Structure 1
Amino acid sequence: MSELNAEHGAKAEPAGFAVDMTLGERLRSRRKAIGKTLQQVATESSLTVGFISQIERGISTPSLASLYNVAQALETTVDHFVSKAPARNHSVVSHSGQRQTYNMGDAARSYEFLERGFPDAKLNACLSHLPPGHITEIMSHEGEEFVYLVSGTMRYEVDGETYLCGPGDTLHFDSHKPHRGENIGTETAVELWVGTMRLFPE
């Protein structure tokens, strides 16, 4: 991770940084290493102080998009916090059953990162597996996004409007608008997320 951080202009982790730390412990360690307060991180990531505190204490886990915002506020990248960062390969095709699945400490919620087909690609995509009852925090971030619900039943809120979606339904919106999603069904929901926000560096 030190090479990754150096490449992106971020400060190196303090000595003794343990590879088996939880997501919350990693966030707290990084925040203290660069001397930022909970309020600063919350403000810069467009989240609440209470939510950042809950992440650090292991009470809540952020969505992938919110983790991106937090990583930016902590002057590092998402790679530093996920269970295992995706390999930096470029492939025109990705095959079902061969993609890497990863999480952020919540085994019930997982992601399959779909490789960008070529360097400097504008679109980024992943398959999100969301357990029943899962609800994300309200978030906003750069870019725009398109969501295709593969399976399950989701309720989405975008800029104050509510949308009920089933298999085959889609959303397309400006990611700067406050938004969130909730699995209101009884089975794991699978959504294809495509956005212009680069979740992982090249």
Structure 2
Amino acid sequence: MSPADPRAADEPSGDPPDDPSGPSSAELHAVAPQLRALRRRASLTLEAAARAAGLSPAHLSRLETGRRQPSLPMLLAVARVYGTTVSELLGETVPERDAVVRAADMDPTPAGGWTYWQAGAPGRGMQALRVHVPYGSQGDIVRVHPGEEWLYVVEGRLRLRLGDTVHVLAPGDSAHFDSLTPHRIAAAERTGAAFLFVHTLLQSPTAALCLGPAAGRPDPGGTS
């Protein structure tokens, strides 16, 4: 955008400039309506989506109306927030995801003392995990972030703190809560606990799976 463009004066400071490597004018015809449709599908306000993508609401609004041309890094950030791909944002045909995840394909991954198995398809706005929590791991980490969480205890006993209330969940118990409620999870017994976990992954535009700090990298701000 040239300095003479009258729209430049009302751009909030700190927003990234246009990038000539971004989509062409023809591609913007597909990007703008997709951005708005995906945000509404994720049940996000303009302010919440912009905050998660690291943009101002005014800047995201201009992207949704086709008044600004997004750069590739900007598209990547927005795609992560909405649990989709840049290809889908550009209106390209997205390969059909396999609806079934076989047990043999669920490789264990350690993160912050926990072990988790991805139990759902990647690249979606809702993530499903199978998790094992050893005793004494991450019990002091309090989480607060946009989204929803649901969990179901499979083995052991789980201590779930929601705000000022502590719940001890046994096998067969479940919980479904707003992630903006301060919360933390820990095993209630020395044998640890295992549970199924589903969350909407709205807390970070860069997080793939959010389970606390992995060795050698900062905590992306994820699971309770």
> TM-score with structure 2 length normalisation?
0.45
Query: Which structure's CA Rg is the greater one?
Result: 2
> TM-score with structure 1 length normalisation?
0.49
